Amino acid sequence: MNWMELGKEVIEGKELSQAEALSILESDDDELLSLLQGAFMIRKHYFGKKVKLNKIINTKSGLCPEDCGYCSQSSVSTAPIEKYAMMDKDTIVEGAEKAFKQNVRTYCIVASGRGPLNRDLNTVIEAVKEIKSNYNMKICACLGILNDKQAQSLKEAGVERYNHNINTSADHHSQITNSHTYEDRVATLEKVKTAGISPCSGVIVGMGESRSDIIKMAEALREINADSIPVNFLHAIPGTPLEHLDDLNPRYCLKVLALFRFINPTKEIRISGGREVNLRSLQPLGLYAANSIFVGDYLTTDGQETTADHQILEDLGFEIDFLNEPVQV
């Protein structure tokens, strides 16, 4: 496959066939650099060499009634994580201040649970209002399943983006959780879109899915029209039902990132959880396909030092995107 030619066709509006999408995931490792070159052509066309920095704050940890097999916070997990109720407003705001000083411009307020309790939602809303009045940051909330009123309340508070991952394909969903449906997740995304909030939705790769499932995920997110797509790679945590899965290697992870860029060329593709443990020494190459990363720690697992991520960008000749807007080049 001529990946550069395919990249040009994608920029011109082509949608990949199933065979072309599968050929990315099945490509020989010897083709990896040329594949990434094709992905970078697309990425550079829409985003230049800018990289968006995002930071998570886990405002409520554990205590979740859902049975998601990958999650250390779920009801079926025995992982020894820290568990706590919703943080107070001031702690959430202090996290934003710290993130801003680290050149982060998208602050992600996350809470465990099926959906937000009213008192927790009110805490988030008050924190968002204060953050927006003091810092030039975009706010992404990730609070679980929402109703229409909750989505509208977040919009009015100043939340620009809402994350609710599809996590896997519709076909594979029942292998990961049975406490909610794939359709429940899509419905929440539709509610936030109706409220005027930018939808963020992504996946977790490495949960026993097939290559066909991965293609279906990327295509589903194109259909949902998610503006931001976090691509997580399973960090198998002892004590979770998926603790035994360890099938990923850095080269395959890079092919997955390339696939998502080819299928969702104009969207923010973010290398998310599991980046450090799965991409390892090849982390920098991921940014030839993706244009966004999380910095710092994740929900219950450690990330690397933010200064290390800044160094990666400098070494690549890339720059931090302070405006959080695509640029045409």
Residues with a catalytic annotation lie at 64, 68, 71, 108, 140, 200, 270
- Residue ranges of E strands in 11-134: 50-60, 106-111
User: HSE on the CB side for 322, CA within 13 Å?
Assistant: 6
Distance from C-alpha of 273 to C-alpha of 202, rounded to nearest angstrom: 11
- Tokens representing 176 are 């990961």
Distance from C-alpha of 13 to C-alpha of 292, rounded to nearest angstrom: 23
Backbone angles phi, psi at 30, to 5 degrees: -65, -20
Cβ neighbours, 10 Å, residue 272:
23
Are 60 and 113 in contact, with CB atoms under 8 Å apart? yes
Are 165 and 70 in contact, with CB atoms under 8 Å apart? no
Is 71 known to sit in a ligand binding site? Answer: yes
- Tokens representing 320 are 């931090």
Distance from C-alpha of 327 to C-alpha of 44, rounded to nearest angstrom: 9
Is 270 known to sit in a ligand binding site? Answer: yes
Q: Reduce the DSSP state of residue 205 to 3 states and report it.
A: strand
Strand partners, 52: 292
Is 142 known to sit in a ligand binding site? Answer: no
Is 108 known to sit in a ligand binding site? Answer: yes
Are 22 and 212 in contact, with CB atoms under 8 Å apart? yes
Residue 45 vs residues 39, 102, 228, 230, 288: alpha-carbon distances, Å: 10, 27, 17, 20, 12
Residue 203 vs residues 80, 206, 234, 274, 316: alpha-carbon distances, Å: 24, 10, 10, 12, 26
What residues are designated binding site? 64, 68, 71, 108, 140, 200, 270
Residues in the annotated binding site for [4Fe-4S] cluster: 64, 68, 71
- Where is the binding site for [2Fe-2S] cluster, in residues? 108, 140, 200, 270
